[in-house]
Copies of this chain bind each other. A is one copy, B any other.
């Protein structure tokens, strides 16, 4: 009786006090090889800031990684001369560079094209349908997304809330052929059940940590590719770093970011129903 098919039984267990044991993934995320991963990110940089070390390991191990980006990040500048059209262009190129450093080709970046900060006001039914179609098309072995947990309700940028919710809702819908049946009929997309899910921005709910001691410099470089998002470029745009500024930012991170003496990236791991 394979776990993924016994829905009624799973729900029944979920309804029971202590009944819905959350199964651990069978192997370490970072050890996967030859798989397909799909990461949903609210903006072009949450993927880098949260997961660059893990992604770099996975890219090296011949996994195919798709980055689905909900918004174009066209609002995040204090430069009074900046316009949204120009910032969107800048952010696209910065993301492509960050992905290149991590090992993901720019053809694998899928832009959903929402405006920064406006994802919350998207039509949620249509957004679920769109992402369901992507999951059914790429059939990922692992989906990564922002955690729809405690942080979710407080998060200070609305896009994170919507991205977190929408991603798990699309995962759920992708599994059943009667959701959005026109995708099967007209696009020949078959249903797909995502076997593993990892959630970043999990805060104190993180239950899964990937050691990135070997990728820390790569991650800082990839993060630094988002130069427009750091001082001083965020105040008066410049496309490059003053080496002193860059080194100071990196030093801050190197000094503040260790957990138990190691650099890590934290996730919440869950399978099937997604308990508290």
- Chain A residues proximal to chain B, CB less than 8 Å: 1-2, 5-9, 11-19, 21, 45-46, 49-50, 72, 74-78, 80, 82-89, 92, 111, 113, 115-118, 120-126, 128, 148-158, 165, 168-169, 171-173, 176-183, 185-187, 191, 200-201, 203-206, 209, 223, 226, 229-232, 234-235, 245, 248-249, 252-253, 256-257, 259, 264-266, 272-276
Contact = CB atoms under 8 A, between A and B. Distances in A.
Contacts of A89: 185
Contacts of A8: 45, 49, 223, 226, 229-230, 234
A9 B249 contact: yes
Nearest to A84: B178
Contact of A5 (B80, B148, B234): B234
A16 B257 contact: yes
A180 B111 CA distance: 13
Contacts of A50: 15
Contact of A173 (B13, B88, B117): B117
10 contacts: A5-B232, A8-B45, A13-B253, A17-B264, A72-B185, A78-B177, A85-B85, A85-B178, A87-B178, A149-B153
Contacts of A77: 176, 178
Contacts of A117: 172-173, 176, 179
Given A46-B11, A185-B89, A234-B5, A17 B229 contact: no
Contacts of A126: 122-123, 126
Nearest to A47: B15
Nearest to A183: B113
Contacts of A157: 172
A226 B12 CA distance: 11
Given A6-B231, A6-B249, 17 more contacts: A7-B234, A8-B226, A8-B234, A9-B252, A11-B229, A16-B265, A17-B209, A19-B253, A19-B256, A21-B256, A72-B182, A72-B186, A113-B180, A117-B173, A120-B124, A126-B126, A151-B275
